């Protein structure tokens, strides 16, 4: 009997549609071989939804996501909408999806695939053994606190507030410890406890919860130091757990440990198996529409979809091995290719990965 799965696909803006095409191609290839019956719904999100429906997150898009077993998202945003007011910004759709769907745990693994050492701006010897996981809190903090802009006697005043409730910290910290149990059993909790009240609460919650995980080694690190240590000795990190904005910034920094931001996938999870999967990068307006985008981050996000939402570790591993073998064969998109080396298009890279998946499936 085939397993039915409903996937809500939200290509979005810029390179979003180009990379999502490659992700869907991978899902379809796997479906044929592993007895899945996939049902796709394609919906507008972000700038394209503003252009067509005057809202970044249309009700129907949210409805399809709620009905789905998983969501695959490309990226949103672009200069065309940069001057819009907050409620008409593409990025607002992402925040709405994360909040409405209760996706508070954002997993952003950064792995250096063999052969990509030379693609990073860091020295190969510094990168040796990099395999870390940023666990970013995704529905709290500065992104979701009260905001305002008001006129004062001395000019405009703008406010963002950083709020964390204890229960919001508890659930993400538990998630990080549980994930560390399946990895190298080390958690670095990143905060700014020397200045921020919310960070002092964060640290005290981590200290309390750590007692429930005696098998895990815990360290606390201030975010400014962490930003530096991540490029100084990146292989020493295992799981990094941190609040929303710190996680956003540190995960883009972690991308450089993998060779390119085009390599970094993510999973956004809540309590059950439902999840939203998207590359960490944005809509890359500078390369959109040219077939230059690296689809690997999206394809690795698809692997995470199989792992976390469909609970199929075998297929997740097959997709990751396919990426590894294609990269090991020297195939590169422009972002990770050496200067002067010929590069594959997004579509060619996706085709190579599909071939490698089918080859592995045939030999299992
Ligand atoms: P970006 O991640 O889009 O691009 C940064 C740089 O990385 C660019 O030079 C781009 O060409 C390159 N890059 C990104 N993805 C790549 C890929 N797959 N292959 C090759 N190169 C790639 O960040 P930005 O320029 O700061 O933001 C552009 C827009 O994207 C903004 O509107 C921003 O709000 C939005 N954004 C959206 C998301 C999302 O949808 N999840 C994430 C980040 C940024
Ligand atoms: C990300 C993006 C988003 C974020 C933006 C586009 C709202 O940068 O997913 O990393 O800041 O969370
Ligand atoms: Mn980001």
pTM beyond 0.90, yes or no: yes
362 pLDDT higher than 90 = no
CATH number, position 352: 3.40.718.10
Mutate to test the pocket of ligand 1, among 17, 89, 283, 353 (most ligand atoms within 8 A of CB): 283
Residue after which a domain boundary falls, among 238, 257, 276: 257
Active site residue 248: yes
Assigned domain for 115 exists: no
Cα separation of 259 and 262, whole Å? 8
Structure tokens at 266: 């993510």
Per annotation, catalytic residue among 13, 191, 238, 248: 248
Structure tokens at 96: 């709405």
Pairing state between β 217-222 and 186-191: parallel
Backbone angles phi, psi at 3, to 5 degrees: -90, 125
pLDDT of residue 266: 98
Helix (H, G, I), strand (E, B) or coil at 70: strand
Stretch 64-88: mean pLDDT: 97
364 pLDDT higher than 90 = no
The percentage of the chain sitting over the pLDDT mark of 70, rounded to a whole number, equals 100
Assigned domain for 114 exists: no
pLDDT of residue 339: 87
Together in a domain, 280 and 229: no
Per annotation, catalytic residue among 21, 131, 236, 252: 252
A 10 A CB-CB count for 35 gives: 10
What does each C-alpha distance from 340 to 332, 333, 343 come to in angstroms?
A: 12, 12, 9
Assigned domain for 116 exists: no
* pLDDT tier for residue 210 given thresholds of 50, 70 and 90: very high
Assigned domain for 295 exists: yes
Ligand number nearest to the C-alpha of 283:
1
Assigned domain for 286 exists: yes
Stretch 307-322: mean pLDDT: 98
Per-residue pLDDT of 128-142, as tens digits, reads: 999 999 999 999 999
Residue after which a domain boundary falls, among 257, 275, 291: 257
* 161 contacts: CB under 8 Å, gap ≥ 6: 142, 145, 146, 147
Together in a domain, 171 and 294: no
Assigned domain for 226 exists: yes
What does each C-alpha distance from 134 to 139, 265, 332 come to in angstroms?
A: 15, 11, 25
* Spatial contact of 247 and 136, defined as CB atoms under 8 Å apart: yes
- The DSSP line for 12-31 is ESTTHHHHHHHHHHHHHHHH
Stretch 59-78: mean pLDDT: 98
Active site residue 215: no
Number of domains observed in the structure of the chain: 2
Residue after which a domain boundary falls, among 230, 257, 284: 257
Together in a domain, 12 and 127: no
pLDDT of residue 145: 97
Together in a domain, 221 and 276: no
Together in a domain, 327 and 243: no
Together in a domain, 243 and 324: no
Per-residue pLDDT of 127-184, as tens digits, reads: 999 999 999 999 999 999 999 999 999 999 999 999 999 999 999 999 999 999 999 9
- The partner residues of 219 in beta bridges, in order of sequence, read 188
Candidates 324, 360, 298; CA nearest to 30 is: 360
203 pLDDT higher than 80 = yes
Together in a domain, 235 and 269: no
Structure tokens at 192: 């700014």
**159 Cα to the center of ligand 3, angstroms:** 21
* Spatial contact of 36 and 5, defined as CB atoms under 8 Å apart: yes
First to last CA, the chain: 19
Confirm or reject: Cβ of 297 under 6 Å from ligand 1.
Answer: yes
Cα atoms found within 13 Å of the Cα of residue 64, Cβ hemisphere only: 19
Together in a domain, 249 and 315: no
Assigned domain for 231 exists: yes
Active site residue 252: yes
Burial category of 355 from C-beta neighbours within 10 Å (exposed 0-12, middle 13-18, buried 19 and up): middle
**248 Cα to the center of ligand 2, angstroms:** 7
Active site residue 13: no
Question: Annotation-wise, does 79 bind a ligand?
Answer: yes
**2 Cα to the center of ligand 3, angstroms:** 37
Active site residue 36: no
Cα separation of 301 and 263, whole Å? 10
Per-residue pLDDT of 234-259, as tens digits, reads: 999 999 999 999 999 999 999 999 99
Together in a domain, 181 and 221: yes
Together in a domain, 102 and 138: no
Together in a domain, 241 and 355: no
Query: Which helix (DSSP H) or strand (DSSP E) does residue 149 occupy?
Result: strand 147-152
Domain that holds residue 101: 1-109+265-364
Confirm or reject: Cβ of 93 under 6 Å from ligand 1.
Answer: no
pLDDT of residue 32: 83
Cα atoms found within 13 Å of the Cα of residue 48, Cβ hemisphere only: 17
Closest ligand 1 atom to residue 293 Cα is 19
Together in a domain, 83 and 192: no
Assigned domain for 332 exists: yes
Backbone angles phi, psi at 89, to 5 degrees: -100, 140
């Amino acid at each position: 009997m085939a397993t039915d799965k409903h996937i809500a696909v939200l290509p979005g803006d810029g390179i979003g549609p180009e990379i999502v095409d490659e992700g869907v191609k991978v899902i379809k290839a796997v479906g044929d071989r592993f007895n899945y019956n996939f049902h796709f719904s394609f919906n507008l999100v972000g700038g394209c939804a503003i252009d067509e429906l005057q809202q970044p997150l249309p009700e129907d898009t949210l409805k399809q996501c709620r009905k789905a077993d998983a969501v695959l998202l490309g990226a949103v945003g672009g200069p065309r909408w940069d001057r819009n007011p907050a409620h008409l910004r593409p990025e607002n759709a992402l925040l709405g999806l994360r909040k409405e769907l209760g996706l508070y745990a954002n997993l952003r693994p950064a792995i250096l695939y063999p052969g990509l050492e030379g693609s990073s701006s860091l020295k190969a010897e510094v990168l040796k053994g990099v395999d870390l996981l940023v666990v970013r809190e995704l529905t709290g903090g500065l992104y979701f606190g009260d905001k305002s802009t008001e006129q004062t006697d001395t000019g405009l005043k703008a406010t963002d507030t950083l709020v964390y409730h204890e229960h919001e910290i508890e659930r993400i910290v538990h998630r990080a410890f549980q994930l560390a149990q399946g990895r190298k059993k080390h958690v670095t909790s990143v905060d700014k406890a020397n200045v921020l009240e919310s960070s002092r609460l964060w640290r005290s919650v981590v200290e309390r919860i750590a007692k429930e995980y005696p098998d895990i080694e815990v360290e606390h690190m201030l975010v400014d130091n962490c930003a530096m240590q991540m490029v100084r000795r990146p292989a020493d990190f295992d799981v990094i757990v941190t609040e929303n904005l710190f996680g956003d910034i540190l995960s883009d920094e972690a991308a450089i440990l993998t060779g390119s931001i085009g390599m970094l996938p993510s999973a956004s999870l809540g309590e059950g198996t439902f999840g939203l999967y998207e590359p960490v990068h944005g809509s890359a307006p500078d390369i959109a529409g040219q077939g230059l985008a690296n689809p690997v981050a999206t394809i690795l996000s698809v692997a995470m979809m199989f792992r976390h939402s469909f609970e199929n570790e075998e297929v997740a591993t097959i997709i990751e091995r396919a990426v590894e073998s294609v990269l090991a064969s020297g195939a590169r998109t422009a972002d990770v290719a050496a200067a002067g080396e010929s590069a594959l298009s997004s579509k060619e890279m996706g085709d190579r990965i599909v071939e490698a998946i089918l080859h592995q499936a045939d030999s299992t």
